[in-house]
Structure 1
Amino acid sequence: MFLRDLYASARRRWYFVLAGLLITAGMSFWVFRVAPVTYEATANVALIPPPTAVISGDNPFLYMGGLDQAMGVLTVKLNSDSVRGPIEEAYPGAEYSTERDATTSGPIVRVKVAGDSSETTLEALNRVLDAMPVTMTSLQDELSLPQASRISLLTLGVDKDTTLVGEARTRSLLVVAALGLAGTLLLTGLADKRLIKRRGRKHSGAATSPADDFPVEETGLSRRNRADRMPLPSGSYAGTTPSAEPLPEPYVPVADLRR
């Protein structure tokens, strides 16, 4: 019933609906221009075991199973403020994260960079890739490891173009559009009811009796009532019964009585 009334109000006040739709479209366009978007780029870097851990002539990729601990230490160091701070200060609006690649079981680090522009995102990603071997070398220098026992890094893939991520903008557009449509319909229904009530009051005021426009003075009415008033017999009042009065005797002359 409510939807039917709302539909009828929208048909009667279509100009209100049109105005609301235009306002909603303008707000949606403004949100589309203002809402922030994010550009993302990723890279994958694998840890390669040292030569001393590989039997001469074997494939180094077959000995990558014991590098999970080294990968965990590297990711923690890359996410620390000592490494993250200079990179994010050099590229404001960009931030990165390093974690293990969940799509594989090998010691592969996934680097993900998000920024407010495509150029900044790609530059920040290259800066992180350059910092990874430096960080790995510093970690092994602190342990004073020989060159033959050091772990190396191998870049497997780097994004050449960024990916536009507009989830925040899409959510903002959906919220604004939903609120605009709902507000348009509700305000149209309220305005329609108010206009109908106002029109009903105008019609009821115009339909009053014309006798009310020319009232008769009270003094004239009272005088006219007194003039037209007629006395009623006492027997006509409620609660009384007419009394039986004796009939007059017939008139008989005196001479006839003597006879």
Structure 2
Amino acid sequence: MQVGDLLLAMRRRWYLVLAVVLVAVAATLGTVWLVGPTYEAKGAMLLIPPGATVQQRLGTGASTGNPYLALSGLTQARDVVIRSVGAQATRLEICERSGDAAYEAMRKDLCLGRPTISYEVTPDFDSSAPVVLVTVEADTAMDAVTALTVVMDQVPVALTDLQSSLNLRPKTSITSISVMADRVPQVVRKDQVRAGVVAGGGVLAVGILLIGLIDGTFSTMWERRRSHRERPVPDWGLNSEADNGWTLPAISDADSVEHSAQGWILPANSPLPSGQEGETTAGGGSTDGAPLNGRRLVQRR
């Protein structure tokens, strides 16, 4: 079906187009309501260099330098921590641990075959500092905040595990501090919008195609009926005016003129038109099987 034909069909069946639009809007709203929004929470952990790398005040153990000035050497350590926290082993450890009601609800959604909670541990690409950025997405605000806290707590645990086998002194170990953590997650509706557009667009496309199919079917049926009613009838001069000034009845007048397989049958006492030949019939058959008595009009060759 051409685009022009489809547009004409939509114009003729405008009431069906209106119904399809209403169904598409309902499908969009229903899908948006069923999918629901997601909640995103972010947090950041900063790695702090060991105290031994900062100048110490003699006899007091207090630092005379600023540790933030020595952050440039912790990039490689940050990458190792990110790999450790984002590993599957850390995820399994979170799933095997028990906690309060909020933790148990979060753990149930995180450890499903198709979990509704996801988290990502990455560097902070907007900063050159050794920052570990944690991003959590969940179906509820409570799960997002709880999962963010649990994953961020894994950063100092990973640092301790990585450095414990090195027999380092406490002052030579890398530590971490929390820079920021969302307490109110951000509402994200991109999944809702995507699902709603797909549902509404699909219903609209299928509906328009069905309208074109229905219009084409009814148009074909109408043309067949019209061609059947307007079937052409041979013109043998029955409706033309004769030389003697009289006119034969119209061929559609079934009482005056009848058509059979042998030709046009006129009443027995009716005159023939000028230039036509006829012969008398008796008991001839008509198209409906009834006997005919009259004169048969024969076409001149």
Could you say what secondary structure the match of 2:168 adopts? coil
- Residues 46-85 of structure 1: pairs in structure 2 closer than 5 A: 46-56=46-56, 57-85=64-92
**Can you list the C-alpha shifts for 1:125-183, whole angstroms capped at 9, x where unaligned?**
11112222222122221211111101111111111111222222222222222233333
Q: Say whether 1:141 aligns with 2:150.
A: no
Select the residue among 188, 193, 210 that pairs with 1:170: 193
Could you say what secondary structure the match of 1:105 adopts? coil
**Contact 1:88–1:95 at 8 Å: present in 2 too?**
no
**Contact 1:42–1:110 at 8 Å: present in 2 too?**
yes
Q: Which residue of 1 aligns with 2:20?
A: 20
For residue 280 of structure 2, what is the amino acid of its counterpart?
Answer: R
Q: Say whether 1:131 aligns with 2:154.
A: yes
**Cα deviation, residue 47, structure 1:** 0.5
**Cα deviation, residue 99, structure 1:** 1.5
TM-score by length of 1: 0.76
Q: Which structure dedicates a bigger proportion of its chain to strand?
A: 2
For residue 38 of structure 1, what is the amino acid of its counterpart?
Answer: T
**Contact 1:43–1:156 at 8 Å: present in 2 too?**
yes
Q: Greater RCO between the two (CA within 8 Å, min separation 6)?
A: 1
| In 2, Cα distance between equivalents of 1:69 and 1:28 | 48
CA RMSD for the aligned pairs?
3.0
| In 2, Cα distance between equivalents of 1:115 and 1:203 | 63
Q: Which residue of 1 aligns with 2:223?
A: 200
Unaligned runs of 5+ in 2: 57-63, 97-106, 110-115, 234-251, 266-277, 282-294, 296-301
Q: Which residue of 2 aligns with 1:29?
A: 29
Q: Say whether 1:153 aligns with 2:197.
A: no
Q: Which residue of 2 aligns with 1:244?
A: none
Structure 1 window deviating more from structure 2 (93-102 vs 175-184): it is 175-184
Larger radius of gyration: 1
**Cα deviation, residue 214, structure 1:** 4.6
**Contact 1:91–1:120 at 8 Å: present in 2 too?**
no
Distance 1:73 1:219, change over 3 A: closer
Structure 1 residue ranges, 4+ long, deviating more than 6 angstroms after superposition: 219-223
| In 1, Cα distance between equivalents of 2:36 and 2:123 | 28
- Count matched residues: 227
Distance 1:29 1:196, change over 3 A: same
Unaligned runs of 5+ in 1: 229-259
**Cα deviation, residue 37, structure 1:** 3.8
| In 2, Cα distance between equivalents of 1:11 and 1:163 | 45
Distance 1:224 1:120, change over 3 A: same
**Contact 2:24–2:201 at 8 Å: present in 1 too?**
no
**Cα deviation, residue 51, structure 1:** 0.8
**Cα deviation, residue 48, structure 1:** 0.6
**Cα deviation, residue 124, structure 1:** 0.8
Could you say what secondary structure the match of 2:203 adopts? helix
